[in-house]
C-alpha cells in the first residue's frame, strides 16, 4: 500500500475539495480567487469537476486554495 503521510490532500476527492471551497466562498468568491470560467459563467459542481479534472494548472490552484483555507 502506498501511504502518503506528508500529503495533507491524501484521501480527499476533488469533489470534496470543491464542495468545501464552494461552501466557504460561494461561486463568486471562488471566481475571485481562481480565475477560471467554470466558476464565473453558469457554475455548477459537475462542470467545475469536469474542467478541473482535465486542467492540471487549475486543479493545482484549487488544491492550493484548499490548503491555504483549511489546512494552515
User: 0.85 exceeded by the pTM?
Assistant: yes
pLDDT recorded at residue 67: 94
DSSP string, the chain: ----TT-TTTT--HHHHHHHHHHHHHHHHHHHHS--HHHHSS--HHHHHHHHHH-HHHHHHHHHHHIIIII-
pLDDT digits (tens, 9 = 90+) for 13-64: 999 999 999 999 999 999 999 999 999 999 999 999 999 999 999 999 999 9
Inter-axis angle of helices 56-66 and 45-54, nearest 10: 120
Amino acid at each position: 500500500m502506498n501511504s502518503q503521510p506528508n500529503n495533507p490532500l491524501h484521501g480527499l476527492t476533488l469533489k470534496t475539495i470543491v464542495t468545501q471551497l464552494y461552501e466557504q466562498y460561494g461561486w463568486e468568491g471562488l471566481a475571485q480567487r481562481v480565475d477560471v470560467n467554470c466558476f464565473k459563467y453558469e457554475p455548477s459542481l459537475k462542470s467545475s469537476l469536469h474542467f478541473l479534472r482535465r486542467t492540471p494548472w487549475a486543479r493545482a490552484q484549487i488544491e492550493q486554495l484548499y490548503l491555504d483555507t483549511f489546512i494552515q
